[in-house]
Chains A and B, each alone.
Chain A
């Protein structure tokens, strides 16, 4: 957590740019570069170089198994991708999953965080239990959910059939249609990542000064009023960071739909499309173009959050 503290200290200094640096500040800065510099350059090398390479390759019609047919086509791959119905289908699929899972993860995650914040006695045990789904490898959880929803091995249909007193068909094929498949995929995502959400929100809740809540209570505020007027505004930073992280994470969804449907019935996500073009078809040019598009989408979403909702990633405490 030291970096957060240091950042918070530095923020006011940045606001007066012309200030003359003291010797101590200068040597501290030099030390900072010496310590972080190598890592910084390694980061540049392992991120910027591949990104630049991908942008360069995306301007070619290039198939790995047909090196002789490599041709510079300017932005044709982008034009093709953005005008292709398959791209927009994967776009809609991906964002349907993102929005649906985010809403439910927020609600459930916040509820769990509230409980964890209030409960004192088995605190550590509770937090460990809550984290179990998050600790499970996504592929494993995807297979579990798939088997649970399938007609022959699954129990969902039997439970639903029992709850609805026989109203729900036992042979309902969840993976037979687009939206029912996406529902199971989203449920699996929600189950798996709600713990992560609740831990981030718990960190935010812990920052809320309990004396403020008590003051509001003394003034006669109801539970809802305290939640809306005191708790939520005071943990906005943590809340927005959690939402941003989850959104960016969910946009890259791959494992769940890959394991459950393999992309059938229009359930292919953007990442699956990228991998299909790059790994399966070895169309390096088109695959790179799609990766760049996915990267830009992530950048846009991040920009909307940071600018639009004024998320401060460097410090939670003001």
Chain B
């Protein structure tokens, strides 16, 4: 039988052709016909979302496009919500040599990994000074690998200790002086309140463990620039044991709340908002805006101070977070991209971003801007700036991703943490890095 093309198969072919051409157009070059190069900026979701009027990265993209006066146009693409999904997406494109990877908002947890893999275009020598000027120290640390600047500090995050003034008073804790974790736990027990911490199986738990170890004068990784074969860990040390002791004490005394093993930022904030459990909390600065918008009646009773000390007499090293701006090595316009990065991270945009999204600036000047001191009142802005200057980054090793996952696994659940946990974690991490254990 002679088969003739049915109308349906013709239509099918037409649809296929359309889809194919559409897909090709989507993959098309980054230069538009008009001659204005388009830079693609992969942004992590923030308070502004994709709305260019909410003061988020979307608005900064629009403003910098205007400021460029036709030299370039910034087009943004939103990354997934979780940091690990962001990493996977960026990594795939970078590894495949995507020439549209002009600008990226990168989490410090995998910034070093990408730089070590050679995925970034080098920062122009003449711009290094501009990108490090007036920045808080921790954000500069997080943007360096092997002593060289690899990315541009954008915003910087740090945790502070939030507390109820009345609870601290009732427990007899003097909050004008630096407090230790032991004092906090005792105060929480005495006042029958909780300390909000992050100890679920996720990156936030590693943030806590790292801050505790750094606070005791130790480091998880002694030589962050080393290869996986020669890397040396400092978990199995006095500092590691001191950190494990704090975690075990918080979990075993029940001061971390009933579900400390599944507590992330939100759960710990809920604990702080709970009527009976509200006492202490270690968390990022967004807490203030969150409490304000939740209209808690006791906002005046909320106090804030420097992150607690791991050991008495040694200054604490608060956690560091935030976002760096990086330029992909296969970008068609690395120079324009760095120009755009300079616009994105200028003081005006730092202030705008801090005020609208609650994410602190990396520029010190921004913290004394009247708009910022209004949004972060009562010395909160100054506290965040000080905390950022003293903050310690997580280990800047290209293998941090694996280390962090392994660390969380061995430190979970928190109430099973004991004096031998750091040594066990250290052995496990080294096995994983050397391909002798699965993760």
Q: Which A residues are closer than 8 A to B by beta carbons?
A: 61, 63-69, 73, 76-77, 80-81, 84, 86-87, 264, 273, 276-277, 279-283, 285-286
**Cross-chain contact of A66 among B91, B116, B438 (Cβ < 8 A):** B116
Nearest Cβ on chain B to A264's Cβ, whole angstroms: 8
Does the CB pair A64–B95 fall under 8 Å? yes
Given the interface contacts A65-B114, A281-B401, A281-B402, does A86 sit within 8 Å of B438 by beta carbon?
Answer: yes
Does B422 belong to the interface (CB within 8 Å)? no
Does the CB pair B117–A80 fall under 8 Å? no
Residues of B within 8 A of A76 (CB): 435-436
**Cross-chain contact of B398 among A65, A73, A87, A279 (Cβ < 8 A):** A65
The docked-state distance in angstroms from the alpha carbon of A81 to that of B437 is: 7
Residues of A within 8 A of B118 (CB): 67
The docked-state distance in angstroms from the alpha carbon of A61 to that of B438 is: 13
Residues of A within 8 A of B228 (CB): 63, 66, 69
Does the CB pair B438–A273 fall under 8 Å? yes
Given the interface contacts A65-B114, A66-B398, A69-B228, does A280 sit within 8 Å of B84 by beta carbon?
Answer: yes
**Cross-chain contact of A80 among B114, B119, B227, B436 (Cβ < 8 A):** B436
Does the CB pair A65–B438 fall under 8 Å? no
Nearest Cβ on chain A to B193's Cβ, whole angstroms: 25
Tell me the residues in window 113-152 of chain B with beta carbons closer than 8 Å to chain A beta carbons. Answer: 113-114, 116-119
Does B439 belong to the interface (CB within 8 Å)? yes
Residue of B nearest to A290 (CB): B438
Residue of A nearest to B114 (CB): A65
Nearest Cβ on chain A to B93's Cβ, whole angstroms: 13
Does the CB pair B117–A84 fall under 8 Å? no
Residues of A within 8 A of B95 (CB): 64-65, 282
The docked-state distance in angstroms from the alpha carbon of A77 to that of B438 is: 10
Residues of A within 8 A of B88 (CB): 279-280
Ordered by A's residue number, 5 sampled pairs between the chains whose C-beta atoms are within 8 Å are A65-B117, A66-B398, A69-B229, A81-B438, A286-B438
Residue of A nearest to B229 (CB): A69
The docked-state distance in angstroms from the alpha carbon of A282 to that of B201 is: 20
Tell me the residues in window 222-253 of chain B with beta carbons closer than 8 Å to chain A beta carbons. Answer: 227-229
Q: Which B residues are closer than 8 A to A by beta carbons?
A: 84, 88, 91, 95, 113-114, 116-119, 201, 227-229, 398-399, 401-402, 434-439
Does the CB pair B117–A77 fall under 8 Å? no
The docked-state distance in angstroms from the alpha carbon of A68 to that of B84 is: 24
**Cross-chain contact of B439 among A65, A264, A281, A285 (Cβ < 8 A):** A281
Residues of A within 8 A of B229 (CB): 69
Does the CB pair A64–B117 fall under 8 Å? yes
Residues of A within 8 A of B227 (CB): 66, 68-69
Does the CB pair A66–B436 fall under 8 Å? no
The docked-state distance in angstroms from the alpha carbon of A67 to that of B94 is: 14
Given the interface contacts A65-B116, A65-B398, A66-B117, does A282 sit within 8 Å of B436 by beta carbon?
Answer: no
Residue of B nearest to A280 (CB): B88
Nearest Cβ on chain A to B223's Cβ, whole angstroms: 15
The docked-state distance in angstroms from the alpha carbon of A86 to that of B406 is: 13
Residues of A within 8 A of B438 (CB): 80-81, 84, 86-87, 273, 277, 286
Does the CB pair B398–A80 fall under 8 Å? no
Residues of B within 8 A of A87 (CB): 438
Does the CB pair B437–A65 fall under 8 Å? no
Scoring A67, A87, A280 by chain B CB atoms within 10 A of each residue's CB, the highest score goes to A280
Q: A80-B437, A282-B95 are in contact. List 19 more A-B contacts (CB 8 A).
A: A61-B434, A64-B95, A65-B114, A65-B119, A66-B116, A67-B117, A67-B118, A69-B227, A69-B228, A76-B435, A80-B438, A84-B437, A86-B437, A86-B438, A276-B439, A277-B438, A280-B88, A281-B401, A286-B438
Residue of B nearest to A81 (CB): B438
Nearest Cβ on chain A to B83's Cβ, whole angstroms: 12
Residue of B nearest to A89 (CB): B438
Residues of B within 8 A of A77 (CB): 435
Given the interface contacts A67-B117, A280-B88, does A61 sit within 8 Å of B398 by beta carbon?
Answer: no
Residues of B within 8 A of A73 (CB): 435
Q: Which 3 A-B pairs have the closest CB atoms?
A: A65-B117, A86-B438, A84-B438
Nearest Cβ on chain A to B304's Cβ, whole angstroms: 33
Residues of A within 8 A of B116 (CB): 65-66
Scoring A63, A76, A276, A277 by chain B CB atoms within 10 A of each residue's CB, the highest score goes to A63
The docked-state distance in angstroms from the alpha carbon of A279 to that of B116 is: 18
Nearest Cβ on chain B to A93's Cβ, whole angstroms: 14
Given the interface contacts A64-B117, A65-B116, A65-B117, does A80 sit within 8 Å of B401 by beta carbon?
Answer: no
Residues of A within 8 A of B437 (CB): 80, 84, 86
Does the CB pair A65–B435 fall under 8 Å? no
Nearest Cβ on chain B to A270's Cβ, whole angstroms: 12
The docked-state distance in angstroms from the alpha carbon of A215 to that of B90 is: 68
Given the interface contacts A69-B227, A69-B228, A280-B84, does A285 sit within 8 Å of B435 by beta carbon?
Answer: yes
Residues of A within 8 A of B91 (CB): 64-65, 282
Does the CB pair A65–B113 fall under 8 Å? yes
Does the CB pair A80–B435 fall under 8 Å? yes
Does the CB pair A286–B435 fall under 8 Å? yes
Residues of A within 8 A of B117 (CB): 64-67
